Structure 1
Amino acid sequence: MLWLGLPSSIKNIKNSQNYVLVILSLPCVALCSCRYYHDLARCLII
């Protein structure tokens, strides 16, 4: 019984870790992409 419940609990832990990582990385990705596109637009304009 415990052996059967173990993989699902490990999977839940991994999923929650991925969820937290995604939430934490979203602002960074948004900031980097905004900065990148801003620089790209500035390069194209100049």
Structure 2
Amino acid sequence: MEILKVSRNTIYNWLNNWDNYGVVGLYNRSGQGRKKIFDVQ
């Protein structure tokens, strides 16, 4: 955990996604993270 600098919960999620979906489960999915509140345009 310290080497990767992620929480135990994140590692659990990675392993769970690997078990359920294989390599595809480790890719970043769209819609993850906070939405933008300001657009540079």
Name the TM-score, length of structure 1 as normaliser: 0.33
Q: Highest relative contact order (Cα 8 Å, sep 6+), 1 or 2?
A: 2
Name the TM-score, length of structure 2 as normaliser: 0.36
Which structure is larger by alpha-carbon Rg, 1 or 2? 1
Structure with the higher fraction of residues in helix conformation: 1
